[in-house]
Structure formats: structure tokens, C-alpha cells
């Protein structure tokens, strides 16, 4: 299987992860307004499975290092398989809760709270489990990225008249806590040495595949709930998926899942050289990538009031300094 052989390449993969995790939601913007998120989400979960299989049968089955994709799956123990699967279930709950919180409280409140908590908690949990990198530089960098997320929230508040509710904030917090833990479940299923994997543990390629199955199968419970009991809008039915879904809409949803799963795969592949805390921390800088899309592509701040550009400038400054510190942390 393909194994990263240097830290610079690992950093590059983490940066690609950040762009993927910060960009996949654009596919939902491209979908029809009649194509509600729970219907879009079914195609998104299929995209995860498709990409994880493609990577498993190509990158995960090539080269002489490690263990090939299918052999690794066949020899994996039940605890390893369940850990990766549980990671998918936890991620799924967290992802849907944050989406629900955005519907209630708005992007300016729900996303920064949820992803901010996930960033800090995820780095702490993964660093405690696998302490790689200078902790002072790592957590200073995480602090600056968190500050950038707060500045992003303040900027969004200037263009949004929507007020937060206690329910929306509470759901954001719950989603953020769960999002901070899902990566650890997947990491715990994997061998620390990719070149010579421990018998019974997963490689990054098989771990992502089992993770994607966890997301897909748990959606029959969690996504079904949001279909029939939406936070906003009318309920959706399973028949709507086939009745309203055009080939274009299904393709857009699958593409969204593929983009996110590329990021997840690269993050785990990079963790061999970067460590789980750094690869996860860099990936969760995706909030700033989403902000870049909002500023420069979707023109969300075009008519923003005075002072917004200063907040955006400080946001990007904190983000890039924080990102640099997280990268340097592994070299110290």
C-alpha cells in the first residue's frame, strides 16, 4: 500500500484534507432548494463508500509496504472493526447535529461553536493518546486557529440578523463534543506502524472504508429521524429521494461525499509521519477554507457593514500563524 515517506508530504496531505473538509459543503449549495439536506445526505454517504473503496483497491493495494486492502480487512479483529465503525457512527451523529444547529441558530453561531470545540477537544484527545510534536507550539497554534474561528463568527454576525437560541447553542455544543472524539475511535483501530502493521489492526485504507460503512448504516436511524422530523421545512420521505432526485442532484451529493472522504483518507495516511493530533488539527482548519469560499466565491460579505473587513483580515492572520505553528510543532 502507499505509505507517506516524509513529513513535508504528510503536511501537504493534511492541507489537502483542510481544503476538502472546507469545500465539500459547496456541493449542497449547488443542489436545488427543493433537494433538502437529508435527501442530499444519502448520496453523500454513498460518496464516502465509493471513494474509500477506490482508494482501498488502488493506493491501498499497491506497492510493497504494509498490507494490502482486502487482506487487511480479512485479518482484522472484531475490536478494530467495531472501533472504526463506531467512529463513523459518532461522526454521523455529530455532523447531523451541527447541521441541525445551523438551521436553528445560523452559521455564525452553530458552526464556530461546534467546530471550535471539535478542534480543541480532538487535538487534546489525540495528543494524549499519541503525543507527537511540541505541545507548546501545537496548542498555541490550535488556540490561534480557535481565535480565528471566533473572529469568523463575529464577522458572520455582522451580516446576519438571526439570533441564537439556547436550543441551537446546546445542539452545537453536543455536536462539537462528539465531533472531537470520532477521529480517536478510527485512529484506535489502526496500527501505529503502517509499514509493518500489527496483526488484527487496520491500515488507513481499510479503516476509512469501515468508517464509511458506519456513517452509511447509522444514517438509517439518524438521517431518517431528520427526514421525518426536520428542524426547519417540510418532512421528506424515502419516495422523494427517487421522485425528486435527478441524476445531476445524485451526482452532486455523491461528489460531496467523495470530496470529504478524500480529506479523511489523506488525514489518516498522513498521521504516520505527522501524528494524529497534528493531522486532525490541520484538517479542522477547514472552517477557514469555508470562510474563504464565502468571502471570495459566494460573496457573502459583499454588502457587509463597516469593520467587517478588519475582522476578516485578523481572522486570516490568526489562521495562517496558527497553521504554521501546528506544522512546526512536529519539527521541534
Element (H, E) at 220: helix 204-228
Helices (H), 62-165: 69-75, 78-105, 107-129, 135-159
Buried residues in 12-33 as b, exposed as e (16+ CB within 10 A): ebbbbbbbbbbbbbbbbeebee
Grid coordinates representing 128 are 494524549
- The residue with cell 488539527 is 281
Low-confidence ranges of the chain (pLDDT < 70): 107-108, 161-164
- Vertex 287 angle, CA 283 and 291, to 5°: 135
Q: Where are the domains of the chain?
A: 7-329
Number of neighbouring beta carbons within 10 Å of residue 257: 27
pTM > 0.85? yes
Contact 132, 275 (CB under 8 A): yes
Contact 238, 96 (CB under 8 A): no
Give per-residue pLDDT as tens, 183-215: 999 999 999 999 999 999 999 999 999 999 999
Give which of 88, 142, 123 is closest to 260, Cα–Cα: 88
The span from the CA of 65 to the CA of 18, in Å, is 27
Q: Is 144 helix (H, G, I), strand (E, B) or coil?
A: helix
The span from the CA of 263 to the CA of 283, in Å, is 8
Cα 208 → chain centroid: 12
Amino acid at each position: 500500500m502507499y505509505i507517506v515517506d516524509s513529513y513535508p508530504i504528510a503536511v501537504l496531505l493534511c492541507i489537502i484534507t483542510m481544503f476538502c473538509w472546507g469545500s465539500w459543503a459547496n456541493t449542497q449549495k449547488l443542489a436545488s432548494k427543493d433537494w433538502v439536506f437529508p435527501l442530499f445526505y444519502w448520496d453523500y454517504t454513498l460518496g464516502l463508500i465509493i471513494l474509500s473503496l477506490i482508494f482501498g483497491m488502488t493506493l491501498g493495494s499497491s506497492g510493497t509496504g504494509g498490507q494490502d486492502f482486502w487482506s487487511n480487512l480479512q485479518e482484522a479483529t472484531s475490536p478494530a472493526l467495531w472501533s472504526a465503525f463506531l467512529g463513523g457512527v459518532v461522526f454521523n451523529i455529530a455532523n447531523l447535529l451541527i447541521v441541525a444547529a445551523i438551521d436553528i441558530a445560523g452559521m455564525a453561531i452553530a458552526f464556530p461553536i461546534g467546530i471550535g470545540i471539535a478542534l480543541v477537544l480532538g487535538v487534546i484527545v489525540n495528543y494524549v493518546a499519541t503525543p507527537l510534536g511540541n505541545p507548546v507550539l501545537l496548542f498555541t497554534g490550535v488556540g490561534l486557529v480557535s481565535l480565528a474561528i471566533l473572529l469568523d463568527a463575529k464577522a458572520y454576525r455582522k451580516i446576519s440578523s438571526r439570533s441564537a437560541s439556547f436550543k441551537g447553542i446546546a445542539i452545537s455544543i453536543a455536536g462539537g463534543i462528539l465531533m472531537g472524539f470520532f477521529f480517536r475511535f478510527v485512529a484506535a483501530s489502526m496500527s501505529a506502524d503502517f509499514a509493518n502493521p500489527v496483526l488484527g489492526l487496520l491500515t488507513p485504507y481499510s479503516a476509512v472504508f469501515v468508517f464509511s460503512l458506519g456513517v452509511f448504516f447509522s444514517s438509517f436511524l439518524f438521517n431518517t429521524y431528520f427526514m421525518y422530523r426536520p428542524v426547519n421545512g417540510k418532512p421528506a420521505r424515502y419516495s422523494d429521494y427517487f421522485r425528486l432526485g435527478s441524476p445531476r442532484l445524485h451526482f452532486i451529493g455523491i461528489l460531496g461525499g467523495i470530496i470529504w472522504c478524500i480529506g479523511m483518507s489523506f488525514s489518516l495516511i498522513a498521521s504516520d509521519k505527522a501524528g494524529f493530533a497534528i493531522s486532525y488539527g490541520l484538517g479542522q482548519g477547514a472552517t477557514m477554507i469555508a470562510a474563504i469560499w464565502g468571502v471570495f466565491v459566494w460573496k457573502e460579505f459583499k454588502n457587509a457593514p463597516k469593520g467587517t473587513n478588519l475582522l476578516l483580515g485578523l481572522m486570516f492572520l490568526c489562521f495562517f500563524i496558527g497553521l504554521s505553528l501546528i506544522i512546526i510543532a512536529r519539527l521541534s
